[in-house]
Structure 1
Amino acid sequence: MPSILNARLLSAVMLAALLLCALGAPVENEPTDSPAGDLSGEEEEQPSSAPSLSKTAFWDLIVNLIEGLTKEFQDELQATDSSLNNYKISSLPANCPGSNSNKEACLRWMAEGLETYMVFLKYVEREYPNTSSLSDIRQFSGYLMSQIKQEMSKPGKIKVLTSSEKEQLLKDIDHPHAFNRKMTALSILRQLRDFLCDGKRKIHQGEMSKYQKNDRNNSQL
């Protein structure tokens, strides 16, 4: 009988497959991806426009996929939470710097952070090449980033990483030993989950604060 975790992962994978089919995209890894050993990140895979699905749908789908994979990889490596703390990557985004009411700042932070994570997800895919869910995570992250940009009033202010900056990010985390690389890849997934959960919470708080402010202004009219 499958465990709750396996059932949750299976549900997320099935939803991912259905979404990809609905979008006219192949369920398997795209043949246009760079080879597993090429981590330059020069090829942009962000869609020109995201499908008409809510941010929440993409957030929940990505988080569910990550939670299933991290448990699987952590069991495989016999890694503890404390041991993974030694593999945290400082170049990944910290918590959202904007206040609860500054939705634009948090959206910009999310878009720039997702671009950085899209680079690091290539690294994760190299270390776990036979895991199709990783390409789904990267693709859905691209859709989420597109939706976030559409909500911004000034998306042109988003800082875009250059090819050399992407290469340097990957060089900084490279390691000669396979175990350390896999632990680093697992840490990337865990940090991405925390990043998404923090961003979703902060943007929701900003939206609620805006609604409450509008309600107060309307009540004073």
Structure 2
Amino acid sequence: MLSALARCVTGAPVAVTPTESPSGDPSGEEQETERPSDLLSASPLWDSFIVATELHEKKFEEEFQNQVKHQFLDDYKFPSPQAGCPSLNFSKESCLHRLVQGLLKYQVLLKHVEKEYPRNSMLPDGKLYNLAPLISLIKEKMKHPERVTALTSSQEEQLLKELVNPDTFHRKMTAYNILHQLRLFLIDGKRAVARKEVLRGSLANNLLGSYSVL
């Protein structure tokens, strides 16, 4: 690396051989720098959706008056999306791709929530039922947003069909669990993206420091 940097200083061309990340994206892409105001994890929009999902807990307590504990929601399973960034070995691009795919699936699952709790009954402005602004924000930070694939109409139909249940209480618990898991998905996703952005900043600063020493 020192010899490569030395050639940069003397004006000689440097051959760069990118290494492949698990997603197939060059790891060198992770060394780009962003201003703090441009960081995805610092977006107020992301935080607004996290706050919106937090409000469902108060709604849950009001509806069931401590007759049902919030932690029992995990007993009502549904086909939840995969974790956005399962390991540190994932590139930022892979992480963002998984997040968008997950949010697209949650956008369909929210149709079940809205069916049980129409807009303005769960949340005052019904904002939570539309994840499109957050999805668009994340896609803007992707290098290859065209690789994102939306669910087909048949896939959406099958996904919602799996949530059908004749028992009203079961359907309500499933709806609340979707909101609960969406909240965790948003929080974990933001933390993972923040780690990626911090890593990229550290790599860039170290590289600049090497140049300054030379």
| TM-score normalised per structure 2 | 0.72
Deviations 1:121-155 (A, max 9, x none): 1110110123354731123x210100111110001
Q: Name the structure 1 match of 2:105.
A: 116
CA contact (8 A) 1:124 1:186 kept: yes
Between 171-180 and 94-103, report the one with greater CA deviation.
94-103
Pick aligned residue for 1:68 from 39, 49, 55: 55
CA contact (8 A) 2:81 2:106 kept: yes
Q: Name the structure 2 match of 1:138.
A: 129
Q: Name the structure 1 match of 2:182.
A: 192
CA contact (8 A) 1:127 1:181 kept: yes
Partner AA of 2:58 in structure 1 = K
2:88 matched to 1:85?
A: no
Deviation at 1:100, TM superposition (A): 6.5
C-alpha distance in 1, partners of 2:106/2:144?
A: 21
- Higher radius of gyration, 1 or 2: 2
Partner AA of 1:88 in structure 2 = K
C-alpha distance in 1, partners of 2:56/2:125?
A: 9
Partner AA of 1:131 in structure 2 = M
CA contact (8 A) 2:109 2:160 kept: yes
Q: Name the structure 1 match of 2:3.
A: none
2:160 matched to 1:170?
A: yes
C-alpha distance in 1, partners of 2:205/2:79?
A: 40
Q: Which runs of 5+ in 1 are unaligned?
A: 1-51
CA contact (8 A) 1:95 1:195 kept: yes
Pick aligned residue for 1:104 from 93, 111, 127: 93
1:173 counterpart SS class: coil
Identity over the aligned pairs, expressed in percent? Answer: 38
- What number of residue pairs does the alignment pair up? 169
C-alpha distance in 2, partners of 1:96/1:108?
A: 9
Which of structure 1's runs of 4+ aligned residues deviate more than 4 A? none
C-alpha distance in 2, partners of 1:122/1:192?
A: 13
CA contact (8 A) 2:112 2:163 kept: no
C-alpha distance in 2, partners of 1:134/1:177?
A: 28
Q: Name the structure 1 match of 2:4.
A: none
2:138 matched to 1:148?
A: yes
**Structure 1 residues 81 and 128, CA, compared in 2 at 3 Å: closer, same or farther?**
same
Between 100-109 and 168-177, report the one with greater CA deviation.
100-109
**Structure 1 residues 79 and 93, CA, compared in 2 at 3 Å: closer, same or farther?**
farther
**Structure 1 residues 132 and 81, CA, compared in 2 at 3 Å: closer, same or farther?**
closer
1:70 counterpart SS class: helix
**Structure 1 residues 192 and 91, CA, compared in 2 at 3 Å: closer, same or farther?**
closer
Q: CA RMSD in A?
A: 2.2
C-alpha distance in 2, partners of 1:93/1:153?
A: 21
| TM-score normalised per structure 1 | 0.70
Q: Name the structure 2 match of 1:202.
A: 192
